Amino acid sequence: MEKFKLFMSNFLIYGFGSIISSVIPLIMLPVITRLMPDSFYYGLSDISNTIVQFGTALAVMGMYDAVFRLFFDKEDENYQKIVCSTALVFTLIASFAVFLLLILFRNQFSALFFGDPKFNNVLYLTAISIFIGGTNSIVQIPTRTQNKRIVFIILNTIGPVVSYAISVPLLLNGYYLIALPLAAVATALTKELSFYVINRKWFDLRLFDSGVLKQLLVIAIPLLPNFLIYWIFNSSDRLMISWLIGASFTGIYAVGAKIGSAAQLIYQAFAGGWQFFAFSTMNEENQVENNSKVFEYLGAVSFGCATLVFALS
């Protein structure tokens, strides 16, 4: 019963925290599309977001999951600080490398992704988002590992609010090109600073340990192909549309895809709650039995939801 309560509480709290960052953009989507004079601008913003997802995946390189795996290996707080600090140093360097690559070859990347080097300003914002986003995921980890659920919900709610508080005024004043990318940078920076202030005791660059880094990379590197393949499945269509028929059609497609992403909300809720539960109970003798029960319960939930959707379709 205790395990069930632990799973359900994390499913609801972390799941809700993960969902809310997707629900608010879904609600605001009609507002944003009405404020833009052409789908071309939304298309450029969507391509920028696609690049951010790819660059962030390269920078993080599976380190987020690797930290979760090692964090619960020992109950020694000093060891846990070493793990967090080592991961932060690595992602900081990796994020800066991706950022620098985009800046140095800005004309080439602008022409490749946006169709014209004149969109360098969008690429600058994209590069900054990647630099911030890579470390952002790491500074959040102590909040998750300590199960600070209220903090997680509040900060994930503030993020979209900050985003639209910046993007809507910019759109109203005609800054269609940079409104959404600039809002994304501001949101990422807000969350980065907030989580770092809350979790600062867990990070000290002087605690970097090359031995721990090797252990992290052994877990992290095999995960990287999964992230890249997932990105290809979810993003290659946008790039192909942009290259073949233009960013305006990418914008139209992106709006449809955003609406379709509502179907992933249940998955996001599960993924948000599963991670802490799985790693915090991984050393228990009945772990396989517990995971099997979770699988059965979620199978029943999925079947029920699918039945409901078919009935309402």
Q: What are the boundaries of each domain within the chain?
A: 37-261
pLDDT value, residue 74: 78
pLDDT value, residue 282: 59
Res. 102 pLDDT band, cuts 50 70 90: very high
* Mean pLDDT computed over 100-109: 91
List the single range of 5-19, 99-113, 130-144, 192-206 with lowest mean pLDDT. 5-19
Least Cα distance to 112 among 231, 120, 176 occurs for 120
**151 pLDDT above the threshold of 60:** yes
Q: Which two tokens stand for residue 46?
A: 């969507």
pLDDT tens digits, one per residue of 121-133: 889 999 999 999 8
Of all residues in the chain, the percent with pLDDT exceeding 90 is 15
Report the C-alpha gap between 63 and 67 in whole angstroms: 6
Q: Hey, is 75 helix, strand or coil?
A: coil
Looking at every residue in the chain, the average pLDDT score rounds to 80
pLDDT value, residue 1: 54
With a CB cutoff of 8 Å and minimum separation 6, the contacts of 27 are none
pLDDT tens digits, one per residue of 1-48: 555 565 556 565 555 656 666 677 777 888 888 898 888 888 888 898
Q: Which residue has the higher pLDDT, 155 or 272?
A: 155
Q: Which residue has the higher pLDDT, 313 or 253?
A: 253
Least Cα distance to 45 among 275, 255, 288 occurs for 255
Please work out, in degrees rounded to the nearest 5, the angle formed at the alpha carbon of residue 16 by the alpha carbons of 159 and 127: 35
pLDDT value, residue 2: 57
> pTM of the full predicted structure?
0.76
* Mean pLDDT computed over 262-286: 60
Res. 97 pLDDT band, cuts 50 70 90: very high
Contacts made by residues 34-40, CB under 8 angstroms, sequence distance 24+: 35/168, 35/171, 35/172, 36/171, 36/176, 37/176, 38/176, 38/248, 38/251, 39/248, 39/249, 39/251, 39/252, 39/255, 40/246, 40/247, 40/248, 40/251
pLDDT value, residue 70: 83
What residue type is assigned to position 22 of the chain? S
